[in-house]
Structure 1
Amino acid sequence: MTYTELARLPFRKFYAVDFEYSGSDGEIPSIVCMVVQDLRSGEVSRHWQDDLQKMKTPPFETGEDVALITYFAPAEVQSMLALNWSIDVSIIDLFAEFRCDTNGDPTVIRRGLVHALDYFGLTDLKPDEKDEMRSLILSGGPWTKKQRLAILDYCTQDVICLGPLISSMLQRSPWTDFRLNQALLRGRYMKAVGAMQHLGIPIDLDILGTLNANWDTIKLKLIAKVDTQYGVYVNGTFKEALFETYLSHKQIPWPRLDSGRLTLDRDTFSNMSKRHPAVQSLHELRKTLGELKLNKLAVGRDSRNRTILSPFAAKTGRNQPSTTKFVFGPAKWVRGLIKPAEGMALAYCDWSSQEIAIAAALSGDELLWDAYHTGDPYLAFAIAAGLAPPDATKQTHKAIRNRCKAVVLGTNYGMSAYGVAQAAKIHELEAKALLQKHRETYRKFWIWAENNKDRGLLGLKLETCFGWPIRVTSGDVKANTFLNWPMQAHGAEMMRIACILAVERGIKLCAPIHDALLIEAPLDQIDSEVVSLKECMAEASEAVLGDGKVCRVDADIVRYPGRYMDEHGQEMWDQIMGLLAQT
């Protein structure tokens, strides 16, 4: 079946829906109004907050055979949950589908509703973008009768354009049943995102408040304390010349700009701190001072961190939440603010070596899959390449394992011999030899990877198993983008399916974090919930990797009164807490 118009899609009812709401960052939204249009009859109904709060069910039919047409569904799902309504509906999110249709197109820079309408030539339906109207809604009221009518009109504009928009999408690129199912799968994920944004992450609000109140004082003391290891700050200011002296003394080779000056951007510091743990504390300090604004964290009065997770924002389809509002965004020590409430526990469950598993399974390289299946793909490479004996262990061959780890991790990103040499702390010639060994050992993977790169550079479409595509036909693009894209994009698919299964099975899913999921449960239920989540994650990985291939999952449980802590942020957290105790 091919669908060229909305009316032929296999649903009993279609509704276009939009809510307006107010509320501070981190709070559950306060619903202002809702407008819904029956896309079969064309009838529009408008509802103000007073009426909505009295309703126990939505003013439209629900069920799997009912489709909600939205533009960025998490906002609508959050609103429905805030009203304690059922979200038992199918969702077609036109934001996700517009992203899907235009991913990689350098001419499509902005992806809001008005930009989608522009793209499909529906300029006469573009809603007014009025900052004063948004400010009026966000003010929280009270509103005069005239203002209420203006807000309802404003909301109506966002609804009546959705029918023509999906019709234009179907006319330009008709959907098969397969394509429809992919859209519905993305809709299920957007529903899960709405549920996660509604639940949020538990935060130690007392510690956050104390840190905010004393942050200026703590920063100065923190610089003085951390800088005793480096001697690179003068009167609270980082000095490049002093850092260069430090690097020379420690014999740490550091990337430089064409001008000869040190490269000091965030990504370089992050990469170098992984290669040279000695500069990890300095990296955390610079990140803390340069980016951290604790008062920007979106935390509600109920001590929950809630913010837009920005699904499908990246070219790989991954989420891109705010690095200042989302607690996993700033420096790693900030994650210590995550703390389960009394009687509750959290579990951080992540896929082990996810990208290697994806690369092995999708390329069909059984030798690489066997390496992943051993539980230590780095040592397995060393053994397969003849660099270590068959009975080698992590303890007996630590040095060669570390070298091979740099190669195995770097190949997915197209890392050069120089990059591998820096990561493994070896000579560039040895790094070249190791990279060649990897190509010779995992030939099938490299044929697949090079084919992906060639297709991408030729402007041909790459696509995940569930239909997330990328196609770049113009503009500046790096070859390595297409080497890593399949792993990242399929990792995103795996995460989305796991989120869908977890939410639909009633697991309290707080947030996705790249290749991990954070859940919450009562103390006496957390162990069983971890088992259930691992089942979801295993099913999701098998759905992506193929029958019989499952990505391992590790779990870290935090029980009240404990708090979550990233191992790379522990030292900085301890120092800051020590300084806080002195204030």
Structure 2
Amino acid sequence: MLEELAAEHELPRLVLEYRQLSKFTSTYVDVIPKLIDPKTQRLHTSFHQAAASTGRLSSSNPNLQNIPVRADLGRKIRGAFIPEEGWWFVSADYSQVELRILAHLSGDERLAEAFSAGEDIHRRTAAAVLGLPMDAVTRQQRERAKAVNFGIVYGQTPFGLAQQLGISPEEAADFISRYFDQYQGVQRYIENCLSLARDLGVTRTLFGRIRQHPEINSRNGMRRSMAERTAINSPIQGTAADIIKLAMIRIAEELRRQKLRTRMVLQVHDELIFEVPEEELYIGEAIRNLMQDVVQLNVPLTVDVKQGKTWEALG
């Protein structure tokens, strides 16, 4: 409600701004400096291997995976994180890894072809669904396709998509229906995930790691619906978690083999961040190759590598 009023009146906008500033102050500005180790003058976050049901690592004390990257204030907080004098931060980030895993697990030929050709997957989806040439796709149409692409991974409903895009549930349902007309392999994958979960109560990642779904046959519609969404998403997000953990092991082994001073300092879901002495900045390319080659899918894994003097500079 306040968001709607803020577009027309000053006071609601100021209230929202105050709430955001208050949250950032109480969550980050007031807390993080107190957690700096007096001996090392560094933050030492804790990572948890088995806290998230998908298998992703989680972070606490402080949670450094949760600092917003898209908000201006979040970027400013990231700007306060700097490497040692004479060192750089290097980030290596899997690009659209969950959609690539979806292409592999589903065996959908159109999705795989788009990734193999290096196409803009969201523009390609919009073009396929709307029956347009790729160069005729508007920014708004691409954004809708992007929402559907990621929404499919998370089992999003037409109602949820409608709320996200500000369109009617009927429009959202039509877009999703046309999506499945074009990407029938994805629809079969979803049906197979649900069938397996209903029969066995579990789903598996590409590497065989199991997640149980005890509510998948619940008589409670809300619980059943939630279990269905997690059954669709778990093999994808879980496989992404497995892949980056394998990459972390391979990279750590390579750094030891080369006797480098470079150190892995943070994992933020699909991204790894390293602290690298200036004379070892060449290691970024080796990190990229190790991450891209950690597993062979039927679509290429791609990794974006950046370097900067602050965490904010990594984007």
TM-score, normalization by structure 2: 0.81
SS in 1 for 2:294: helix
Question: Which residues in structure 2 correspond to 1:385-424 (within 5 Å)?
Answer: 385-392=129-136, 397-424=138-165
Q: What is the aligned partner in structure 1 of residue 124 from structure 2?
A: 380
Q: Which amino acid aligns with 1:490?
A: T
Match of 1:467 in 2: 208
Query: In structure 1, what is the Cα distance between the partners aligned to 2:206 and 2:15?
Result: 40
Residue equivalent to 2:269: 514
Deviations 1:536-569 (A, max 9, x none): 1101242xx35xx3211112211xxx3121799x
Q: Which amino acid aligns with 2:99?
A: I
Q: Are positions 1:550 and 2:296 aligned together?
A: no
Q: The residue matched to 1:534 in structure 2 has which SS?
A: helix
Query: Residue 320 of structure 1: CA displacement?
Result: 1.3
Aligned: 1:534 with 2:277: no
Distance 1:305 1:294, change over 3 A: closer
Other-structure match for 1:492: 241
CA distance, structure 1, for counterparts of residue 133 and residue 89 of structure 2: 41
Residue by residue, what CA displacement relative to the aligned partner does 1:379-405 show, whole Å, maximum 9, x if unpaired? 10122224421443xxx6212111111
Partner of 1:285: 21
2:40 to 287, 302, 305: 302
For residues 493-544 of structure 1, give each alpha carbon's deviation from its aligned partner in whole angstroms, at most 9, with x where no partner exists. 1101110110000152112110000012111321x111011011101242xx
SS across alignment from 2:78? helix
> Structure 2: which 5+ runs fail to align?
9-13, 69-73, 256-261
User: What is the rounded CA distance, in whole Å, between the counterparts of 2:39 and 2:63 in structure 1?
Assistant: 16
SS of residue in 1 equivalent to 2:301 = coil
- Gaps spanning 5+ residues in structure 1: where? 1-243, 252-277, 569-583
Identity of aligned residues (%): 25
Using the size of structure 1 for normalisation, the TM-score is 0.46
Correspondence for 1:327: 64
Note the C-alpha offset of 1:286: 5.0
User: Structure 2 vs 1, CA of residues 327 and 314 (structure 1 numbering), >3 Å: closer, same or farther?
Assistant: closer
The alignment covers a number of residue pairs equal to 287
- The 5 A counterparts of 1:194-233 are none
Closer, same or farther in 2 for the Cα pair 1:282/1:366, shift >3 Å? farther
> Do 2:65 and 2:269's aligned partners in 1 also have CA atoms closer than 8 Å?
no
Tell me whether 1:351 sits opposite 2:88 in the alignment. no
Specify the SS of the correspondent of 2:162. Answer: helix
User: Structure 2 vs 1, CA of residues 375 and 298 (structure 1 numbering), >3 Å: closer, same or farther?
Assistant: farther
CA contact (8 A) 1:316 1:492 kept: yes
Instruction: Give, in whole Å, the separation in 1 of the partners of 2:15 and 2:120.
Output: 27
Partners of 1:379 and 1:283 in 2: how far apart? 36
Question: Is contact 2:65–2:267 with CA below 8 Å preserved after alignment?
Answer: no
Counterpart Cα distance in 1 of 2:248 and 2:26: 33
Q: Provide closer, same or farther for how the CA distance between residues 279 and 377 of structure 1 changes in structure 2, counting only shifts above 3 A.
A: farther
Shift of 1:246: 5.0
Give the structure, 1 or 2, with the largest relative contact order (CA under 8 Å, sep 6 or more): 2
In the other structure, the counterpart of 2:259 is none
Encode CA deviations 1:357-395: one digit per residue, 9 max, x unaligned: 000011111211223343411110122224421443xxx
Q: Deviations over 1:311-350 (max 9, x none)?
A: 132111111111x424333453432222111111111111
Q: Distance in 1 between matches of 2:200 and 2:19?
A: 38
From 235, 242, 247, the counterpart of 2:4? 247
Deviations 1:287-320 (A, max 9, x none): 3145332245354532332232111321111111
Hey, what's the Cα distance between the residues in 2 that align with 1:459 and 1:320? 28
Distance in 1 separating the partners of 2:41 and 2:129: 52
Amino acid at match of 1:297: L
* Conserved? CA contact 2:58–2:65, under 8 Å: no
Look up the match of 1:92: none
1:378–1:401 Cα contact (<8 Å) kept: yes
